[in-house]
Amino acid sequence: MTIELHTWNTPNGRKISVALEEMGLPYKVIPVNITKGEQMAPAFLRLSPNNKIPAIVDPDGPGGKPVSIFESGAILLYLGEKTGKFLPKPLAERIPVYEWLMWQMGGFGPMPGQVHHFIALENETDRAYGLRRYMAETRRLYSVLDRRLEGRDFVADALSVADFAILGWAWRHPRHKVELKDFPNVERWYNALMARPATKRGMEAKLD
């Protein structure tokens, strides 16, 4: 049963391709060209009512019935539940996975995303304020992550879906104007993940 991954080449899309590769799940990419507004097409809106990528369709969902899921965090939790991989069963071990996944969804995504927005503006006055504000917050979030990774390999100790979520955005650190060497624990974590064959395949999968 092949999962359909409706996505584009963005940090949120990369989260899911990495997870699918790490979990060994067969999938096919169905590109949704967000530069042409394809995320607004009625067929895609039926899968993702918030008109955002990614979304998946799993033909072998709960009870063997097809299911569609939108929102990258929800997709990661679903895939972890489905496979029993990268999502610990004991609640005590799940708590940090939940915490760091929500940290990514609520901060380390929206804030760097604002950097992406303002850096593309042509008017220097418009750019300057936004970049000062959101670059400072983005660097603060990298510092939070760096402190968390001090003395541990992954954010929730064992490799989890939270790492995949955060990696999708850390992958864009050059666009954030962030040098990973300024955050040595993040750099170590990032390089270790990117050296994993399945993560590498997920990062190199053609999503557009």
- CA–CA dist 171, 203 (Å, integer): 9
Q: Is the pLDDT of residue 159 over 90?
A: yes
Question: Dihedrals φ, ψ of 56, to 5°?
Answer: -125, 155
pLDDT tens-digit readout, 71-114 = 999 999 999 999 999 999 999 999 999 999 999 999 999 888 88
Question: Dihedrals φ, ψ of 13, to 5°?
Answer: -70, -40
Q: Residue 101, Cβ neighbours under 10 Å: how many? A: 27
Domain with CATH 1.20.1050.10 in the chain: 91-196
Quickly name the fold that domain 91-196 has: Glutathione S-transferase Yfyf (Class Pi); Chain A, domain 2 (1.20.1050)
Domain with CATH 3.40.30.10 in the chain: 3-86+200-204
Average pLDDT, the chain: 95
Q: Which CATH class is domain 3-86+200-204?
A: alpha beta
Alpha-helical regions (H) of the chain: 11-23, 42-47, 72-83, 91-106, 110-119, 124-148, 161-170, 184-194, 197-204
What pLDDT was estimated at residue 123? 79
Q: Are 138 and 146 in contact (CB under 8 A)?
A: no
What pLDDT was estimated at residue 108? 93
- CA–CA dist 39, 50 (Å, integer): 9
Share of the chain above pLDDT 90, in %: 86
Q: Take residue 149 and report the two structure tokens written for it.
A: 């990774």
- Mean pLDDT across 148-174: 97
Those residues whose C-beta lies under 8 Å from the C-beta of residue 127, and which sit 6 or more positions away, are 118, 119, 121
Q: Is the pLDDT of residue 121 over 80?
A: no
The model's pTM is 0.90
Q: Are 29 and 204 in contact (CB under 8 A)?
A: no
What pLDDT was estimated at residue 150? 98
Query: Looking at 125-139, 167-181, 193-207, which range is the least confident one?
Result: 125-139
Model confidence band, residue 45 (pLDDT cutoffs 50, 70, 90): very high
What pLDDT was estimated at residue 148? 98
Q: Pick the residue with more confidence: 133 or 148?
A: 148
Q: Are 6 and 68 in contact (CB under 8 A)?
A: no
What pLDDT was estimated at residue 29? 98
Burial class (CB in 10 A: 0-12, 13-18, 19+), 64: exposed
